Structure 1
Amino acid sequence: MKRITLLFALLAAGCVTANAQVDSVYVVNNGSTTAHNDLIAKKHELKFGAIKALSGGIVEVTYERIYSESFTYGLSMLGNLDGNNNDYPEDFSVTPFARMYFSEPKYYGAKGFFVEGSAKFITGRDYNGYTEEYVYEDGNGNTYYNYYDKRVSYTAGSLGLAIGWKWINKAGFVFEILGGAGRNFGGSNAPEANFRGDFNLGYRF
């Protein structure tokens, strides 16, 4: 978890310093600006979370439907393929979401700054303050006690908010930064909150 947080912080710091720029995916005809027709017609995006994948075998795939220039909705699915060797508290999650985009001019829409609302269903394991004792004896009759943090399974629901920024080039390739959090409920062993975010790479089609 520490590796994921550190990578996200370092990359986010680099991107925040960059100036927002308008994608050069439009043409000028007789002084008027029009968007590329093929990009306007593309209404679907498929993306994956790069930071999670690089940090510990965590795969998150997101589908986003472009409903209008300002509004989209979609679904993210996460699977922790190496949960026994990393500290990420989610083993599996499903996150439906909706987004409002605010950048102007829009050209082909659904890019730039956005605000996201989401719900989430989670199953996972978290330390949550639990410890377990291990007792053993050596060949001389000496008794030893070891204590270690114990991960406890949980299932929970969550409601959350996030903000982000999306870039898209004229070929349809997408890069976005997403960061937010949600409040967990309904699970006795669940952590109080969960993290939602990544550097997502994908394609609009």
Structure 2
Amino acid sequence: MMKPILFALWIFGSLTLLNAQQQTDSIAPLYQKQNEVKLNGILLLLGSAEASYERNLNDESSVGISFLVPYDKEFMQPSINYYVAPYYRVFFGKKYAAGFFVEGFAMLNSSEREKEITPNDGYFYTEEKTVTDLAVGIGLGGKWVTKSGFVFELINGIGRNLFNTDYDDPNIVGKFGFNLGYRF
């Protein structure tokens, strides 16, 4: 008589635990949402506005795109007109799409560049030109997300322009920042 009662209590307890687990698994915390928007705080202070959108693919990878437009060209050297930079990230943290990450990016950029030209008469002159180029690069960073969805991110990356390498300005591009945003 005691064994059927214990068996019934065991089944009831197991079903209750399974039901509770299903309920907690179906509720995704805010920090596990898929979309993020961010602004780069350092570049805002240096005369440029950089905004980013990122889509979390799973707990360890995401894709995104950054847009930069300067509003004060004195601070930006070489003089950048704009850039658009899609990227892919792989995360190594324990939280959902957060922690240390490695990034690969491409960057379509436009800048004012100089080129020294020496004609046959021996005198040289400098030619300035607006140049559009494509760079590829890698970056490292860290991302922290609060339960309320606030995102804080540090990023540092370096890349190289692939075309128009005959201009004097460095063909190295940088991607750095202190990004603040929201995950939704």
Query: TM-score per shorter chain, which class?
Result: 0.7 to 0.9
User: Which amino acid in structure 1 is aligned with residue 183 of structure 2?
Assistant: R
Q: RMSD between aligned alpha carbons?
A: 2.7
Q: Secondary structure at the match of 2:46?
A: helix
The answer as to 2:130 corresponding to 1:153 is yes
- Which of residues 20, 26, 37 in structure 2 aligns to 1:46? 37
Structure 1 residue 126 displacement after superposition? 4.0
Partners of 1:37 and 1:92 in 2: how far apart? Answer: 37
| 8 Å contact from structure 1 (residues 126, 191) kept in 2 | no
Match of 2:68 among 54, 58, 78: 78
1:196 aligns with 2:170: no
Partners of 1:157 and 1:75 lie apart in 2 by 15
Q: Secondary structure at the match of 1:52?
A: helix
Quote the offset at 1:82 in angstroms: 1.9
Alignment of 1:93 with 2:72, yes or no, is no
Q: 2:51 maps to what in 1?
A: 61
Q: By how many angstroms is 1:191 displaced?
A: 2.5
Give the TM-score of the pair, scaled to structure 1.
Answer: 0.66
- 2:112 and 2:134 map into 1 onto residues whose CA distance is 14
* Superposed counterparts of 1:169-188, under 5 Å: 169-187=146-164, 188=166
Q: How many residues are paired up?
A: 152
**In structure 2, what is the Cα distance between the partners aligned to 1:168 and 1:199?**
14
**Larger Rg: 1 or 2?**
2
Cα distance between partner residues in 1 of 2:178 and 2:127 = 30
Measure the CA separation in 2 of the matches of 1:116 and 1:197.
12
Structure 1 gap ranges (5+): 1-28, 132-148
Shift in Å, 1:87? 3.2
Post-superposition offset of 1:88: 3.1
Aligned-partner SS, 2:148: coil
CA distance in 1, matches of 2:55, 2:129: 36
1:167–1:175: 8 Å Cα contact kept in structure 2? yes
Alpha-carbon distance in structure 2 between the residues aligned to 1:36 and 1:112 = 22
Question: For the residues of structure 1 that align with 2:98 and 2:26, how far apart are their CA atoms?
Answer: 13
> TM-score with structure 2 length normalisation?
0.73
Give, in whole Å, the separation in 2 of the partners of 1:45 and 1:122: 23
Identical-residue share of aligned pairs (%): 35
Task: Quote the Cα distance in structure 1 between the aligned partners of 2:146 and 2:109.
Answer: 33
Q: Secondary structure at the match of 1:165?
A: strand
Question: How many angstroms does 1:63 deviate by?
Answer: 0.4
